[in-house]
Amino acid sequence: MKRVIVIGGGAAGMMAALAAAEAGHSVTLLEKNREPGKKILITGGGRCNVTNDTDPEGMLDAVVTNRKFLYSAMYGMTSEEMRNLLRRAGLETKVESGGRVFPVTERAGDVVDALLKLLKASGVKLRTGCEVSGIMTEELSEARRICRGVELTDGSTVEADVVIVATGGLSFRGTGSTGDGLRFAREAGLNVTETRPGLVPLITDVGWVHELTGVSVADADIRVRTGKKVIYGETGDVLFTHFGLSGPGILNASSSAGKGMRKAFEKGEPVTVVLNLLPDHETTEEFESVLQNSIAEHHEKAVRNILSSFIQKSLAEALFKVCGIAADRRGSELKREERRALTKACTALEIEVTGFQKFAHAMVTQGGVSTRDVDPSTMEARAVKGLRFAGEVLDVDAITGGYNLHIAWATGKLAGSTI
């Protein structure tokens, strides 16, 4: 039996503590907030998107950064295992669109309660309001150290054979994710890659976009272009906001194409989001033919009414402004070049973006403890025996849909179960 300390009472921390305890170790979970699971409570809009109903390969396909590093973790804990774990605590789950898994109660608090129930049954000692100031290490050799425990901000120390750092990244700082784990890693001699907001909304100066605040488009075809090069293309939901673009589709683009977009911003190159608001009509030419037929059939109708049969009225009104066309014009009055401009606006709407929102609006942190310095089969630091990392503190991330939370569960389990 080893003495194990887990720092951080989020998803990765609670899972690491549970796995270590069920492996027969003496475990203490240290959480600096008054209550654990604060970030879990706000995931999935307060419903908690626990995981995604897919196999390990499906999980890995959703990973944006360092996919290979997560191979052992994803195969070591499947989504079905996570659902069974919650079932053990009396909480059933359900599958929704896109494979997203939620508790049937639709309350994130019930997920936290279920995990706390399991932790208590396994004998984990939970200390809340307990903040760690540093990791205690001792030199073994010129190239390797050993972890001896932690120092607390009150000046006391807690000895341990293994310390698992699961403090999160930099997103949602109000939940306690203030970068402590990144500092611990640096102080222990590990490399930390550049951190940046991930799954984050995009900013634009285009005024008509701001006027559409609250309007959403389901399953839009989204492309990101830097200069003349298309660097991203996927389908997803888009939400227009007072500062720019958001929604799951845009958030995924911000992470998957983030590096390319940042490089373009640094070079002063334009970055353009191109939206097909009518993905059922794959090309501008195809929709132009459909719109032309509709106008011929309803030539006495106002163009706004004709176009509103294909897209939301508020969005149609905005597109008229973009194209400089009076919305009350009758279909029979529409010129060929005006019809073409409208069809292009519907199927290849170009919106230049100027940057990313900051960590306060990001769902995850991209960057973190370098995976080169961590053993993927145990989550242990290669140069510090007994020091392990799990969850968002690592340089790993994925698209939306429950994948990031599953990374936390999976890496937490691997860090705790392999001691």
Per the CB < 8 A criterion, the answer to whether 327 and 295 are in contact is no
Q: Where are the domains of the chain?
A: 3-196+360-417, 201-357
In whole angstroms, give the CA distance from residue 37 to residue 107: 13
Residue 143 — very low, low, confident or very high, per pLDDT cuts 50/70/90? confident
Q: What is the mean pLDDT of the chain?
A: 94
pLDDT tens for 356-370 read 999 989 999 999 999
Please enumerate in sequence order all residues whose Cβ is within 8 A of that of 186, keeping only pairs 6 or more positions apart, or say none. Answer: 192
pLDDT, tens digit, 9 for 90 and up, residues 79-93: 999 999 999 999 999
Tell me the whole-structure pTM to 2 decimals.
Answer: 0.93
Alpha helices in 106-203 (DSSP H): 108-122, 180-187
68-94: b (≥16 Cβ within 10 Å) or e: ebbbbbbebbbbeebbebbeebebebe
What are the two backbone dihedrals, phi and then psi, of residue 28, each rounded to the nearest 5 degrees? -120, 125
Q: Is residue 418 classed exposed, middle or buried when 0-12, 13-18 and 19+ CB atoms within 10 A define those classes? A: middle
Report percent pLDDT > 90 for the chain: 78
What does the pLDDT read at residue 303? 79
The average pLDDT across 340-344 equals 89
57-61, 87-91, 178-182, 279-283, range with the lowest pLDDT = 279-283
Could you give the C-alpha distances from 37 to 40, 113, 164, 358, 364, in angstroms and in order?
5, 9, 16, 23, 16
Task: Write the CA distances from 138 to 188, 337, 387, integer angstroms.
Answer: 10, 74, 12
Q: Which of 42-56, 111-125, 183-197, 317-331 has the lowest mean pLDDT?
A: 317-331
pLDDT tens digits for 277-330? Answer: 988 876 778 888 888 888 788 777 887 888 888 888 889 889 988 888 887 888
Residue 173 has pLDDT above 80, yes or no: no
Question: Any idea which of 41-45, 220-224, 362-366, 370-374 has the lowest mean pLDDT?
Answer: 41-45
CA-to-CA distance for 387 and 362, rounded, in angstroms?
Answer: 28
pLDDT surpasses 80 at 175? no
Please check whether the domain covering 3-196+360-417 is classified as CATH 3.90.480.10. Answer: no
pLDDT for 363-403, tens place per residue? Answer: 999 999 999 999 999 999 999 999 999 999 999 999 999 99
**What amino acid is encoded at 90 in this protein?**
G
Mean predicted confidence (pLDDT) in 26-49: 93
Distance CA 152, CA 173 (A): 20
Q: Report the Cα 368 to chain-centroid distance in Å.
A: 14
Segment among 159-163, 334-338, 348-352, 370-374 with least mean pLDDT: 334-338
Task: Work out the number of other CB atoms within 10 angstroms of the CB of residue 153.
Answer: 11
With a CB cutoff of 8 Å and minimum separation 6, the contacts of 312 are: 215, 217
**Cα angle vertex 405, ends 241, 255, to 5°?**
45
Q: Report which residue type is found at 53.
A: D
List of E strands, 180-227: 196-198, 202-203, 216-226
Q: Residue 176 has what pLDDT?
A: 67
Element housing 160 (H / E): none
